[in-house]
Chains A and B, each alone.
Chain A
Amino acid sequence: MTHVLDLQFGDRIVTLMAALVLVLQIAMVTQRWIVIHIRIFAAQSFFLAMIAATIAWFNHAPHLYVAAALTLAVKVVLVPLLFERLVKRMEIHEEIEPIVNGPLSVVIAGGLTLVGYVVAESFYRPDEPGLGHNALAVAVSLFLIGFFTMINRRKALTQVLALLSLENGLFLAAISLTYGMPMIVELGIFFDVLVAAMVLGILVYRIRETFESVDVSRLRRLRG
């Protein structure tokens, strides 16, 4: 059981899971079914929680367990449930046609990953021990790809999902860079994410009610 305490080992695991998270994010870019989209998001969040737990274990940063638990609770369970119910309520599972088509968007996502690495590169310090420094690159990439997904989507709900996945990127950055924020801040942030998700959910619902669709590209009355 020695290796269970080995930082090297921990670093590998974290990197691996970070990579998985990134893959899931790119999968989200191409994903066309809302329900699956939601599930992918859940999975991604799950891996994030795992990363948090791992870092907590290897760095003996107990408060990260809390973060992990919160992530599990909010992003893996609560938000997806909320959204799936919303989807059922509004029976929108029809396909969603992105603005940029699948292959191209994947290429773009790859490019954004590159940008992520370029940015993170200047932060890389081999001299400092610790794990998941290249997790920052992943985090930035997650952020940018999530952002890109928001631009790329026409459906209100998927935009919200993209926003949340973008915040996942933030979370990853938080835990990998600084082993999490001060406790109170974390609580605040999770609370905010939850509220934001709900607010946006309510908005999506009302838009559905008034516009008979959740196609945000139809929301073009206000110009000039």
Chain B
Amino acid sequence: MESANLVGFGAVFLVAVALAARVLAAGTVSLAKGFFYTDALSALVVLLTASVALVCATYSIGYLRDDQQSGALGDDASGEQIAQLRMYYTLTPLFVFSMLFMAVANNLGVMWAAMEITTLVSVFLVTFYGKVTSLEAAWKYAIIGGVGLSMALFGTLVAYYAGRGLTGSAALSGLNWSVLAQHAAQLDKTSMRLAFVLVLMGYGTKAGLAPMHTWKPDAYSEAPVPSAAILSSALLNCALYCLIRFYILTSRCLGAEYPGRLLLLFGLLSMGVSVPFVLVQKNFRRLLAYSTIDHAGIMAIALGLGGALGNLGLMLHMTFHTIAKSLLFLSAGNVSQHFRTDLFSKIKGGVMRAMPLTGIVLFMAMLAIIGMPPFSLFQSEFLIVRAAIDSGHIFTGVLFILFGTGVFAGALVHVGGMILGPSGDTEMAGRRPWRDGSLLALASALVVIGFWVPAPLLELVRQAARVVSGQ
């Protein structure tokens, strides 16, 4: 199963790269009579998803083996373990597949359906360990996600209604992005207003924008680490992807003002909400979850600010955040597996001593995620704040900085306190090729990308930004 997974994800990754190349060459790619439609934006999302999936697949091999030994998967005799593993290795590809499908689907309804499937699948990944808490987390995730997605569906539907004049209602193409995007200007204004609100709240729930964010800390802290990493980086991108699609429609129909203001509202709210929880957090995987909420807010703000700068910042941030956050989750996973706890109070410090590589990587990733140069997230956040101030949203910019500093302080105090210091009596960690390998790969990517973004990737990002700003 392991090897099958690995090979599969490797293949998917290659396909994704090929797709990105095609898109860079051709601009847009569409297949199956326009059922599949890919522009730079979807190509970027696909690429990021595929790469995260590959790394996590590599990591999860070592991770699950460790779980097997430690008996976290139930006893081997009664075949529980093998059942668990089978479940994991079936669900994860399904999960990733539905995300990729979502990204390349042309039809907004199909996009929605794929999104729903990601939820249903990931619910089972959250219940993976079958603990009391994981069930609770799964329940909250399922219910809130379900509500959110039904709102999104409602929105999609209203959007369809808004476009009914232009296209045959029965025809499949009525919900096709490629069609709607062309006639965006003629869409029915009032319906689009309603549609955007519903969609924003719906996909915002998946993206974890406050106040729909409440399921996130629970799900992330209960899911197995690789799944949590995918959830927090790739799935976030996908949810934002859906939002962006509708944002484009709405802004072309109503002008950027209306959706922009709503997005800024939710974005600032999410950033603000995440601050106190980071400051007084006791559990480091929940802390990471709140940081993801924070970053969802940041990207929503970037989208809301719009403009060339804002959109470029958004796409760069999406890319950088995917790398840094998945690295952060994976290294944190090492820690929680080694120390058998997620609580700061249990880990007095000394991670750097007990597990040097993980400690350093975790510290790097944490610094990157809280926007410390030379790591690249600073660049995108710089762009976003610049976009805010250039477009006269001084207040937004100031709040952005303020909340950013709050998260910085909290994360630094907690995670720093966990990593540094004397290691006490915890035993040194052994060598873990699978996990260390994937960590090192991601970490080097994180460092390199801070100084040098490969030209094709940068070009892809720029084109994606252009898709959003609509030139």
**Bound pair: A and B?**
yes
When the two chains form the complex, which single residue of A183, A184, A196 contacts B116, counting CB atoms closer than 8 Å?
Answer: A196
Interface string of B263-284 (1 = CB under 8 A from A): 0000000000000010011110
In this complex, which of B138, B139, B190 has the most chain A Cβ atoms within 10 angstroms of its Cβ? Answer: B139
Could you tell me if B109 and A189 are in contact, using CB atoms closer than 8 angstroms? yes
Could you tell me if B136 and A182 are in contact, using CB atoms closer than 8 angstroms? no
Instruction: Evaluate whether A207 and B139 lie within 8 angstroms (CB atoms) in the complex, with A61-B170, A224-B277, A224-B282 already known.
Output: yes
Interface SS of chain B: helix
Could you tell me if A219 and B157 are in contact, using CB atoms closer than 8 angstroms? no
- How many angstroms between the C-alpha atoms of A221 and B135 in the bound complex? 11
Which B residues are CB-close (under 8 A) to A178?
157, 160-161, 164, 169
Could you tell me if A150 and B175 are in contact, using CB atoms closer than 8 angstroms? no
- How many angstroms between the C-alpha atoms of A185 and B176 in the bound complex? 11
Could you tell me if B280 and A166 are in contact, using CB atoms closer than 8 angstroms? no
| Interface status of B221 (Cβ within 8 A of chain A) | yes
Interface string of B146-176 (1 = CB under 8 A from A): 1100100110011011001000011110110
Interface SS of chain A: helix
Could you tell me if B154 and A173 are in contact, using CB atoms closer than 8 angstroms? yes
Which A residues are CB-close (under 8 A) to B61?
none
Quick one: which of B123-143 are within 8 Å of A by CB? 123-124, 127, 130, 132-133, 135-140, 142-143
Chain B residues within 8 Å of chain A by Cβ, number: 51
Could you tell me if B143 and A181 are in contact, using CB atoms closer than 8 angstroms? no
Could you tell me if A211 and B143 are in contact, using CB atoms closer than 8 angstroms? no
Which B residues are CB-close (under 8 A) to A150?
143, 147
Which B residues are CB-close (under 8 A) to A163?
143, 146-147, 150
Could you tell me if A159 and B143 are in contact, using CB atoms closer than 8 angstroms? yes
Could you tell me if A199 and B123 are in contact, using CB atoms closer than 8 angstroms? yes
The residue on B at minimum CB distance from A59 is B169
In this complex, which of B116, B135, B147, B150 has the most chain A Cβ atoms within 10 angstroms of its Cβ? Answer: B150
| Interface status of A206 (Cβ within 8 A of chain B) | yes
CB of A159, distance to nearest CB on chain B (Å): 6
Which B residues are CB-close (under 8 A) to A220?
136
Closest 4 CB pairs of A and B: A185-B109, A188-B113, A219-B136, A182-B172
**Other than the known A188-B112, A199-B124, A222-B217, what 11 A-B pairs have Cβ atoms closer than 8 Å?**
A170-B153, A182-B109, A184-B109, A189-B153, A192-B116, A195-B120, A200-B142, A206-B127, A219-B135, A224-B281, A224-B286
